Amino acid sequence: MKITVAVSGINTIDNPGPGAGICRALKESGMEIRAIGLAYDALEPGIYLDHIIDKSYIMPYPSGSKEAFIERIRDIHEKENLDVIISALDAELPIYMDIEPVLVEMGIKMLIPTKEMFRLRDKLKLKELSEKIGVKAPEYISCTSLSDLHKATEKLGFPCMVKGPFYEAFKATSPGEAEGYFIKIAAAWGYPIIAQKFIQGDEYDVIGCGDGKGNDMGVFAIRKMTITKLGKVWNAVSIRNERLIEATKKVVSGLKWRGGFEFEVLMENKTQDIYVLEINPRFPAWVYFPAGCGINLPARMVKLLTGQEFETHSDYKSGKLMIRYTNELVKDISDFEQISTYGESGEVKK
């Protein structure tokens, strides 16, 4: 049975989207998958990754008209007969949440969070989230001015973390340093800026998928070994930490999480206590790593959505290493012409 899956986030750039990893995991799942890339720009590298993405289409921006977005999907669906869409970008999740009933009518299935889950995962709702899932959150204060920052750091003390609304976090050891980071982050990412209590520990990530009924479909934990300037994982090692796995399962059962997610936590060195930092409401860019270790979450998601049996175990080995690398492709300008002129790539010649 051939299954056609459309996947977004195929921007495998220096701040990589998860789409290419999702497609690779699906292609290696043993299912007969036709992978369709949904791109927002003609130069998203996934469009040109013929070995894992069969065809790509340009989408209208999710911030635009809902009708135009639906019409584009309808148009792609007429050509491709889509079975599943896996949304892999935070920015487009709200529109998919809105239009999911329309997609269901069209015969397209998705496993995405509800609006309430999406609201709770906001960095500024960390306290509320922490109470819901029973996992500690570091004390934090949201700031929209330097005066707010001063008050916050007086309360939190130094060192403290100064974090952006989307990306970047710095450890500040003095009021002057905190002010500098505040201005730098605000200029790059806007407000609010979050001042957060510093906890001596390491950051860990767990990927998982929830069926929306409180059951987890498998989880996989890593320690970030190196990160990019934006805090994205570059190299990682798989770990087996039962407290972390337990905390992740609380996310799934406590929120009845629906869809893929990345649970970002900090583990205090001294006490090994776990603090929730963030939940990303979709698969992370390193989604292929667990798939390569036997926890193929995109495949499990597709199997659930298409009524097939799927595994739910989280049996994997610790000490597996993920090395991310950069690479170059040589393509023809006609490939760029095709996608930029017609809004869709040419069919891959097998």
Q: Which positions lie near another protein, rule CB under 8 A?
A: 202, 204, 222-223, 225, 237-241, 267, 269-270, 272, 318-319
CB-nearer residue toward another protein: 103 or 244: 244
At 141 the three-state DSSP class reads strand
Cβ atoms 185, 163 nearer than 8 A: yes
Tell me the closest approach of the beta carbon of residue 4 to another protein, in angstroms. 37
Tell me the closest approach of the beta carbon of residue 311 to another protein, in angstroms. 22
CB-nearer residue toward another protein: 200 or 341: 200
Contacting residues for 87 by C-beta, under 8 A, at least 6 apart: 8, 9, 93, 96, 110, 112, 282
Tell me the closest approach of the beta carbon of residue 196 to another protein, in angstroms. 22
Q: Which of 34, 27, 24 is nearest to 2 (CA)?
A: 34
CB-nearer residue toward another protein: 317 or 349: 317
CB-nearer residue toward another protein: 101 or 319: 319
Tell me the closest approach of the beta carbon of residue 238 to another protein, in angstroms. 8
Distances (CA, A) of 119 to 62, 255, 290: 18, 12, 27
CB-nearer residue toward another protein: 184 or 240: 240
Q: Which of 267, 223, 232, 269 is nearest to 247 (CA)?
A: 267
3-state percent breakdown (helix, strand, coil) of the chain, nearest 5: 35, 25, 35
Q: Which of 346, 336, 347, 348 is nearest to 42 (CA)?
A: 336
CB-nearer residue toward another protein: 270 or 350: 270
CB-nearer residue toward another protein: 184 or 320: 320
Tell me the closest approach of the beta carbon of residue 241 to another protein, in angstroms. 5
The two tokens of residue 196 are 């957060």
The CA R_g of the chain, rounded to the nearest whole Å, is 21
Tell me the closest approach of the beta carbon of residue 263 to another protein, in angstroms. 15
One DSSP character per residue, 52-118 reads T-SEEEE---TTS-HHHHHHHHHHHHHHH--SEEE---GGGHHHHHHHHHHHHHHT-B-----HHHH
Tell me the closest approach of the beta carbon of residue 10 to another protein, in angstroms. 29
